[in-house]
Amino acid sequence: MTGLRDSAPAKVNLCLYLGPTRESDGRHELVSIFQPVGLADDVELAPSGLGSTADRVVCPGVEGENLAALALRRFRERTGWTGAPVRLTIDKRIPIAAGMAGGSADAGAALRLAARAAGIDDDGLLRQIAAELGADVAAQVRPGRYLATGAGERLTPLPAPRPYGVLVIPSRERLATADVYREADRQGLPRDAADLASKLRQVSTMAGDLPDHLVVNDLEPAARALCPSIDRALDDARRVGARRVLVCGSGPTVVGLFADLQAARGAAARLSDRHPRPLAVAPWGATL
């Protein structure tokens, strides 16, 4: 096997409506639009080398077991693939613990590359494995725009959006998703089942071109409580003209939406004194 490469794009939640927890697994029901964007990790799968007896994942900056390593292990267990040990190298560009699903993106890329190496063409199986790894991973098996329900594992593909610009304001701080959900519960943020069903009807009707009044993240108050510096980032995004501003996923990254990429780039330039420096990206797969 020669080296195989792929991109693992970050995603933003253009809306995230939080519902009650499920009795089956304790996860929250949600309604969300997942949109991958042009900020991506580079991932390479290659032979691990002579003398290697196990798969290895190389990902500077990530402590402990990487989710991509777990994806490789689960792939071997579920498929029975007995190929020689591999080395998965991840060149990180997506901020870590930032609410942009960077770990999930890497895990999705790991599954795609392992399937190519093993000669397995079964997206359904890959999504099953992905759903066991985490709610965001299934959407990253084949990155695209999805309406996500359940805990995020039930996916309805949506048409690619028209081009627009996304201002991404990273943070020096990190937030653990589990901590943000716990804080959301403490604040009583989850909606009841009827309210969530109402939001699903509205989002389903407008999902191809979500109007600004539905661009809402129910986790935002919890993320702001745990990371007060988010407030300044939200204010900065509004100050430079974003038409809609919200916390990305569980935070602490903040995103601002603009009519086009040029406007988002201009906004990023006006905020160039921030550290980490903001950047402008386009939706992954946008059509003219």
d(CA 67, CA 63): 11
d(CA 124, CA 60): 31
Q: Over the stretch 152-193, which tens digit does the pLDDT of each residue have?
A: 989 999 988 888 999 999 999 999 999 999 999 999 999 999
For the record, the structure tokens of 184 come out as 């959301």
Q: Over the stretch 208-224, which tens digit does the pLDDT of each residue have?
A: 678 889 999 999 999 99
Going along the chain from its start, the domains and CATH numbers come out as 4-157 (3.30.230.10), 165-281 (3.30.70.890)
d(CA 18, CA 52): 44
Average confidence score pLDDT of the chain: 93
Q: How confident is the model at residue 1 (pLDDT cuts 50, 70, 90)?
A: low
Tell me which residues are annotated as active site: 11, 136
> How many CB atoms lie under 10 A from the CB of residue 200?
18
| 250 and 181 Cβ atoms separated by less than 8 Å | yes
d(CA 31, CA 201): 10
pTM of the model: 0.90
Q: Is the dihedral angle over the CA atoms 33, 38, 42, 43 positive or is it negative?
A: positive
**Cis amide leading into 276 (omega within 30):** yes
